[in-house]
Amino acid sequence: MRRFLSKFKFLFITLLVLSAIILTLFYNALKPKEVLPIYQPAMVNTELVHDSVQHVKKYHTIADFKLLNQNGQTITQKDYEDKIYVADFFFTTCLSICPIMTGNMTTIQKEIMNDKDILLLSHSVTPKIDSVARLKEYALEKGVIDSKWNLVTGDKKQIYELARKSYLVAKDDGIGDEYDLIHTENFVLVDKKKRIRGFYDGTKTEDIQKLLADIRILKSEYE
pLDDT digits (tens, 9 = 90+) for 158-217: 999 999 999 999 999 877 677 999 999 999 999 999 999 999 999 999 999 999 999 999
Q: Output the average pLDDT for the chain.
A: 90
Instruction: Tell me the fold of 41-220.
Output: Glutaredoxin (3.40.30)
CA 13 from chain center: how many Å? 47
Contact 125, 159 (CB under 8 A): yes
Look at residue 42 and tell me whether its pLDDT is greater than 50. yes
CA neighbours within 13 Å on the CB side: how many for 71?
A: 9
- Stretch 8-20: mean pLDDT: 55
94: annotated binding-site residue? yes
pLDDT per position as a tens digit, 83-140: 999 999 999 999 999 999 999 999 999 999 999 999 999 999 999 999 999 999 999 9
Look at residue 23 and tell me whether its pLDDT is greater than 90. no
Tally of helices (H runs) and strands (E runs) in the chain: 6, 9
123: annotated binding-site residue? no
pLDDT: which is higher, 83 or 5: 83
pLDDT per position as a tens digit, 59-68: 999 999 999 9
60: annotated binding-site residue? no
DSSP one-letter code for 96: S
Of 163, 164, 181, 183, nearest to 172 by C-alpha is: 181
Counting every residue, how long is the chain? 223
| Residue ranges of domains in the chain | 41-220
Look at residue 5 and tell me whether its pLDDT is greater than 50. no
CA 202 from chain center: how many Å? 10
Look at residue 21 and tell me whether its pLDDT is greater than 90. no
According to the model, what pLDDT value does residue 71 have?
Answer: 98
pLDDT: which is higher, 1 or 76: 76
Q: How far apart are CA 130 and CA 154, in angstroms?
A: 9
Indicate the burial class of 144 (C-beta count within 10 angstroms; 0-12, 13-18, 19 or more): buried
